[in-house]
Amino acid sequence: MNAPLAVKVTMPPQRLLSACAVAYASVGNVGVGFDILGHCVAGASDQVEVHRIDTPTVRIAAIKGCVEVLPMDAAQNTAGAALMALRKALGLQHGFELTLHKGIALGSGMGGSAASCVAALVAANALLERPLSRESLYGFALEGEAVASGGRHGDNVGPMLLGGLVLATRDRLLRIPVPPTWHCALVHPHVVLETRKARAALAGDYALSEFVAQSANLALVLAGCWQNDAELVREGLKDVLVEPRRAPLVPNFARVKQAAMDHNALGASISGGGPSVFGWFEHHADAEAAAHAMRSAFNEVGLDSDTLVAPVEGPAAQLIPCIEGERQA
């Protein structure tokens, strides 16, 4: 057979002028990795549309979706602040205009502010002449996250950038392997718990013995993931440091957690700053059953809630077709 004729068509260089990206909800802390461990959960997401503009600035055109009370001042907005940091670091001449489509409720403990920040970065990155690696976007994501929470912690933005379960230290991201069959149930009661209030509950001093117990638990969870050993995770997935201090902020927490444990959870705790509660499960069916039971437990105190059930190895943020179509120069 003859090879088909190769026809080389030289196109003028094209420059993308707009891009859209989606970033998924996340479970921050994962109980035992306060501020350093998190994973994504498919099923809830923020989308951000970024236009390259000639004006050397970052501006927010609109915020749509389930949240409309966010700051329109870019410097006060997680997505805006992240892109401002990106512009400054790269010395970009052009600016960005953002439209945020919020799908993750703020103050839910599901990484809503982080998702806008990461989606904006991934979209803006696609508009650069030399796009950066996901790891290289991390520092800018931390800048954005700091606007929302007051701290540079990567346990939400880290997993959103890389996907799956991620160790997010001050300087680096590292993906931790997780068996693909392990599932997370994430239940979001319809009540707002501000990140700053959740952080205030952690003020004060800590005993060294608390840290020894918590770091042993963290090590067991990491070992269980690396070794694909659910029993190690079951032994370690117990937050003895943060959960006792934040549990009073989550309505009916003890019974919601127990509902997860009653359905064979490897462990269950508060997602991020709360009030959402998550559980990890070896099997999808257990996670489904637990999600219903956890929802019922929130119902006991008059709270409706949303439930998500998805693999612990959730998806990374990604580019998506813009709703109004991409425009090219």
Give residues in contact with its own copies (CB under 8 A).
33-37, 153, 167, 169-172, 174, 176, 202, 205-208, 211-220, 222-223, 226, 232, 235-236, 241
DSSP string across 76-88: GSHHHHHHHHHHH
Beta carbon nearer to its own copies, 238 or 295: 238
Burial 193-208 (b: 16+ CB within 10 A, else e): bebeebeebeeeeeee
Least distance in angstroms from the C-beta of 66 to its own copies: 31
Of 124, 156, 150, the residue nearest 58 (C-alpha): 124
Least distance in angstroms from the C-beta of 240 to its own copies: 11
Beta carbon nearer to its own copies, 46 or 155: 155
Residue for token pair 């990106």: 86
267 annotated as belonging to a binding site for a ligand: no
Beta carbon nearer to its own copies, 175 or 292: 175
Nearest-angstrom CA–CA distance, 142 and 156: 10
109 annotated as belonging to a binding site for a ligand: yes
Beta carbon nearer to its own copies, 235 or 326: 235
105 annotated as belonging to a binding site for a ligand: yes
Burial 6-30 (b: 16+ CB within 10 A, else e): eeeeeeeeeebebbbbbbbbbbbbb
Least distance in angstroms from the C-beta of 273 to its own copies: 14
224 annotated as belonging to a binding site for a ligand: no
Least distance in angstroms from the C-beta of 87 to its own copies: 29
Residues 6+ apart with CB under 8 A from 164: 39, 40, 175, 176, 177, 178, 312, 313, 314, 316
113 annotated as belonging to a binding site for a ligand: yes
Least distance in angstroms from the C-beta of 179 to its own copies: 15
110 annotated as belonging to a binding site for a ligand: yes
Nearest-angstrom CA–CA distance, 202 and 64: 33
Count CA within 13 A, CB hemisphere, residue 76.
5
Beta carbon nearer to its own copies, 215 or 299: 215
User: Which positions make up the binding site for ATP?
Assistant: 105-115
Going by the annotation, the residues of the binding site are 105-115
